[in-house]
Amino acid sequence: MVRIRRACATLALVGATVGVAAVPAGAAPVAGPQTTARATTCPTGWGSLAKTGAGAGVAPMTDVRTGRHTCFDRMVVDVPGAGSGVGYTVQYVDKLYQDGSGRYIAVSGGAVLEVRVTAPAYDPETGAATYPGRVAHPLPGVDLTGYRTFRDTRFAGSFEGQTQIGLGVRARLPFRVQQLEDRVVVDVAHSWTATG
C-alpha cells in the first residue's frame, strides 16, 4: 500500500513537471507594464466662440504653415520681428467676405474659420508683397492631404494693416489661439471629446 502511494505521488510529480515544461515560454504571464494601447487624452475647454488678442504693429507677415498633431490640426502665421504682440481675431463665419471689397470667397469644409492677424502681407514702407498669397486661392505651400480637421485654406488679402485668411474645417469644432514670439498659432481640435 505504501508503495502504491509512493508510485502515485511520483507519477503526480512527474505529470506536474511535464505539464509545466509543455507550456511555451511566450504563453507565460508577463509581469510589468501593460502593453495595450491607451487612448490619448486631449485638452478640452477650448470652445468654438470668437477669440481675440490685442496687439498692434507694422511688422509684415511672411508665411503661413500648417501641421498635424495627435489631438488637433495647427495653422501658424509667421510675423518676424513682431515679438509676442501680434493681434488677432479668429471666429467661425457663415461665409468669408473680403475686407474692403466685400467680395465673397468660397472656402470648402463643413465650417469656416476666419483668421485675421494685425500684420499686413506687404512691406508698409514700400508696398512690396512679403507673402505670395493670391486672393481667393489656396495658401501657397500648404498641403492639407491627410489632415483630420483642416479641409481648405484661402487667402483673402490685406486691408488697413490686417491680413485675412479663410480656414475650412470638417465641422464647427473647438479651437484655441496663441500669441507666441513672432507668430500667431491656431489649433483646431479633431473632436469635442477628450480623446484623440
142-169 confidence digits (pLDDT tens): 999 999 999 999 999 999 999 999 999 9
Instruction: For residue 74, count other CB atoms closer than 10 A to its CB.
Output: 17
Q: What cell numbers appear for 88 in the block?
A: 488677432
133 pLDDT above the threshold of 80: yes
User: Per mean pLDDT, which range of 72-76, 89-93, 121-125 is the poorest?
Assistant: 121-125
* Helices (H) then strands (E): counts for the chain: 1, 11
Residue 33 binned pLDDT confidence (cut-offs 50, 70, 90): very low
Higher pLDDT among residues 181 and 84, named by residue: 181
pLDDT of residue 163: 96
The pLDDT-based confidence of 22 (bands split at 50, 70, 90) is very low
Cα 2–chain centre separation: 77
DSSP string of 11-57? HHHHHHHHHHHTS-GGGS---SS--S--PPB------SS-EEE----
On the question of pLDDT at 194 being above 80, the answer is no
Q: Report residue 16: phi and psi, to 5°.
A: -65, -40
- Report the alpha-carbon distance of residue 196 to residue 40 in Å, rounded: 5
